[in-house]
Amino acid sequence: MAVLKVLRVPNPVLKKKAQKIDVISDEIKTLADDMLETMYAIDGIGLAAPQVGRLVRLIVIDVKWRKDTQEKEPIIMINPEICDRSEELNTYCEGCLSVPGQYEEVTRPKRVTFKYTDTDGAEHKVEADGLLATAVQHETDHLEGKLFIDYLSPLKRNIIIRKVKKMGDRLYEPDDADENGKEE
């Protein structure tokens, strides 16, 4: 497994729509494992394939994981799709590995029903609320080329993008990762 480079705003790949995965190949399984390792290494709870430069419909989430306990309960979702959203809303202070160090309140449906395929090809349908519902919505937005900052005013969004650009690569990305996210 490898820690992959996470793309940051304003990288244009983050604004592109990801393609459906037709075959769950060994390459897709390896990508999922690498995405989990990356997510844990940089203290995230979710990561979408476009964030590591791969325009495929794959996300990983672990809302149970905490760095201090090392408790893990990862979910790997291939071709995730939100089927239903509640009318009731919830507001979370969201952050994003592609927008490091920046957090803003985003309002989304409180509950969602979603379906996905796992790496063994089994299909799942899940009803979620709370942090899992928010994380699934956040990560599936990435598959559509949308970031949490797109929910903000243009002024706030532009300020955040400027802040991230000023950071450069100082935070958590491996210095020796190539443009496809693989460590050299």
Query: Is residue 2, in this structure, part of any structural domain at all?
Result: no
pLDDT in tens, 51-63: 999 999 999 999 9
Predicted local distance difference test score (pLDDT) of residue 172: 47
**Which CATH number do you get for residue 87?**
3.90.45.10
Query: Is residue 121, in this structure, part of any structural domain at all?
Result: yes
Whether the bond between 10 and the residue before it is cis, its omega within 30 degrees of 0, is: yes
Residue 71 appears among annotated catalytic residues: no
* pLDDT for position 28: 98
Residues 6+ apart with CB under 8 A from 169: 175
Residue 38 within a domain: yes
182 in any annotated domain: no
Tell me, what's the pLDDT at 51?
98
Whether 97 is in a domain gets the answer yes
> What is this structure's pTM?
0.88
Domain assignment present for residue 131? The answer is yes
Domain with 16 in it: 12-167
For the beta carbon of residue 94, count every other beta carbon within 10 angstroms. Answer: 20
**What integer pLDDT is reported at residue 182 of this predicted model?**
40
**Parts of the chain with a pLDDT under 50:** 171-184
Domain count, the chain: 1
Long-range contacts of 25-31 (CB under 8 A, 24+ apart): 28/56, 28/58, 28/78, 28/119, 29/119, 30/1, 31/56, 31/58
pLDDT at 180: 43
Residue 113 β-bridge partners:
84, 127
User: Which residue in 139, 173, 183, 184 is the catalytic one?
Assistant: 139
Predicted local distance difference test score (pLDDT) of residue 170: 54
Could you tell me if residue 3 is inside a domain?
no
